[in-house]
Amino acid sequence: MIKLVRIDHRLLHGQVAYAWTKSLGTDCILIANDEVAKDSLRSSVLRMAAPSGVKLVIKSLEDSITALNSGVTDKYHLMIILESIKDANELTKHVPSINKVNLGGVKTEEGKKQISMAVFVSPEEVIQLKDMNQRGIAVEVKMIPEDKGQDVMDLIK
């Protein structure tokens, strides 16, 4: 069962590893990211950040889609972490069981505008967020479980 789909450019760090897993009762974290899946050093570093008792799986976006749709992940209380809005848009197009995405952190870069404390979006990312919204995917900006979530559509106007 998918408990949370989260976009966070830092992927797995203390806030995600401990606050979210504890709040949700997560027993498995799936990092869906093409670059990390190919980078053994980066994968090793992320594995060290995983909380004890929580399984960490790192797969490419395509392999993640296949696994999620096959039912093999259904036995877990699963948190999916993506690095980008683009990847979340792609994942939600191909995994019909996802209807909500948590937007936790997108780093600042040239050409991006700030829409919340830790979220910066480019014009292309705004289009992707609107695409998810039009397909019925709720996108909520929420850094930690205790925060009050904000609908991303209200923030990108």
Other CB atoms within a 10 A radius of the CB of residue 149 amount to 15
Is 13 labeled as catalytic in the residue annotation?
Answer: yes
Cβ burial of 40 (10 Å; 0-12, 13-18, 19+) is exposed
92, 118 contact by CB (below 8 A): no
Query: Could you tell me the two tokens for 43?
Result: 């994968």
**Cα distances (angstroms) measured from residue 48 to each of 4, 26, 52, 99, 116:** 21, 17, 9, 30, 29
Beta bridge partners of 55: 28
For the chain, report the end-to-end CA distance as a whole number of angstroms: 33
- What DSSP state is assigned to residue 15? I
Selected catalytic residue, list 9, 13, 77, 94: 13
Helix (H, G, I), strand (E, B) or coil at 135: coil
Active-site positions read 13
